[in-house]
Structure 1
Amino acid sequence: MEPMNYTCENKTEKKVIVLSYLTSLSLIIVFFLLGYQIRGETIITDSLTGYTAYDIFIHNQFISLISFFGVFLLGIPNLFIIIMNFFELGNIFGAYQETYSLIGAFQKIASYGIFEIPSIVISNSVGYLLIYALYHRVVSQKKINIKYYSKYIIKMLVLTFLLNIIAAYFEAFYLNK
């Protein structure tokens, strides 16, 4: 397998990938902060009783796959996934902060979030690739490098799979202490 060439002659592919990440990160920050600010009476329990690491992994992987397939629907499902997940995460973070303190809230979420959040960012950014690739196609009048994007998407799919396994393990076993 040949290494991925990130030094494209016209750097269009790299720009498209960066724009897709910036879109995902911007939306994530906005909806996390909205969820944090609009939090209601969220009841926090430290237990995910009844959920195994496998259950959590399947859920996270399902969300990642929907996000990856969002590339064919111009990222529309990705927007809903970001709104639902990060609005709720902001809400939960605020409730953790009230219950445990700011440091305690970071500790609770960081235990699995350090793996799960990058997985969500990666899979959602892939969902926006087609929008930016088409835009650059129209602007630059150059062909879309399908081979490059296909290899990139496959590598990101494998990476999110691994991140979701690790996140599920930590979420199931750390929060169930």
Structure 2
Amino acid sequence: MENLVIMQQICKFSCKNVLFKRALLIMTAWSLCVFLVGTVLPGIFKISGLNENIDFFQLFFHNSLISLFLFFGVFSYGIVSFLVSGINFLFFGMQIRAAVDKYSFLVVAKRIFSHAIFEVPSIIISSSFGLILLLHFFNYRQSVDWHRFFKNSFFIFTVVAFLNLAAALVETFVSSRWSL
């Protein structure tokens, strides 16, 4: 029942916030393009084996730190969020390419997909929030309603924290248990 309430609040927020929808669209397209470029580039990564000893707290801290960094990119009018998410997805594409070259697509997909369905939206949502002030400036050219801004930022960061929690749990207890 609580999940239904959370999903209704997410839908309510995204339906009312046109700028956030635009930011999501922009960052999703950007991330996908940069990821695809990363899969085409010859990798600089040498995959020696996928880490079997993954600590939940280390993963959660790492994912949350990246999300927080992307989230606070809003104060650079999205420049930091745009660059950091681009670099992140470029390296992710290069790592996927190197792992697929060493193992196979199915092995890598089995290992990564289960937690990537939580981790990738977390990164995209965080970086999308980074574009909000820039899009607000270009669309409205008026001052920001800071009360609404901080209320929305708290809601978005809560959703991102739950996504990071789910990604860390799945990566620690499900993805890392599948052998190569």
Settle same-fold status: TM greater than 0.5: yes
* Unaligned stretches of 5+ residues in structure 2: 1-8
* TM-score, structure 2 normalization: 0.81
**Aligned counterparts of 1:104 and 1:5: Cα–Cα separation in 2:** 34
Report what 1:163 is aligned to. Answer: 163
**Which residue number in structure 2 is paired with residue 61 of structure 1?**
64
CA distance in 2: counterparts of 1:48 and 1:39, whole angstroms = 25
Residue-by-residue CA offset, 1:87-120 (whole Å, 9 max, x unaligned) = 1111122123223332333222212111110100
Contact 1:36 1:90 in 2 (8 A): yes
How far does residue 143 in structure 1 lie from its aligned partner after superposition? 5.3
Shift of 1:46: 2.0
CA separation of 1:147/1:56 partners in 2, compared to 1, >3 Å: closer, same or farther?
Answer: same
Looking at structure 2, the residues matched to 105 and 4 of structure 1 have their Cα atoms a distance apart, in angstroms, of: 31
The answer as to 2:70 corresponding to 1:79 is no
Which residue in the other structure is 1:113 paired with?
116
- Aligned partners of 2:138 and 2:103: how far apart in 1? 46
Residue 150 of structure 2 aligns with an amino acid whose one-letter code is S
Q: Matches of 2:26 and 2:157 in 1, distance apart? A: 19
Distance 1:48 1:72, change over 3 A: farther
Q: Structure 1 segments of 4 or more deviating over 4 A?
A: 3-7
Look up the match of 2:176.
176
Q: Indicate if the aligned counterparts of 2:43 and 2:95 stay in contact, CA closer than 8 A.
A: no
Task: Report the residue type matching 1:161 in the other structure.
Answer: A
Cα distance in 2 between the residues matched to 1:46 and 1:175:
11
Which residue is 1:101 aligned to?
A: 104
Task: Describe how 1:124-135 pairs up with structure 2 within 5 A.
Answer: 124-135=127-138
Return the TM-score normalized by structure 1: 0.82
Separation in 1 of the partners of 2:43 and 2:25? 29
Deviates more, 1:80-89 or 1:27-36: 80-89
> In structure 2, what residue type is equivalent to 1:46?
L
How high is the sequence identity, in percent, across the aligned residues?
27
Deviation by residue 1:150-177 (Cα, 9 ceiling, x = unmatched): 2221111001111111111222334433
**105-114 or 153-162, which deviates more:** 105-114
The match for 1:147 is 147
SS in 2 for 1:40: coil
CA distance in 1, matches of 2:93, 2:10: 35
Q: Secondary structure at the match of 1:176?
A: helix
Paired with 1:70 and 1:92, the residues of 2 have a C-alpha distance of 25
Counterparts of 1:107 and 1:75 in 2: how far apart (Å)?
A: 33
How much does 1:28 deviate?
0.4
What is the root-mean-square deviation of aligned Cα atoms in Å?
2.4
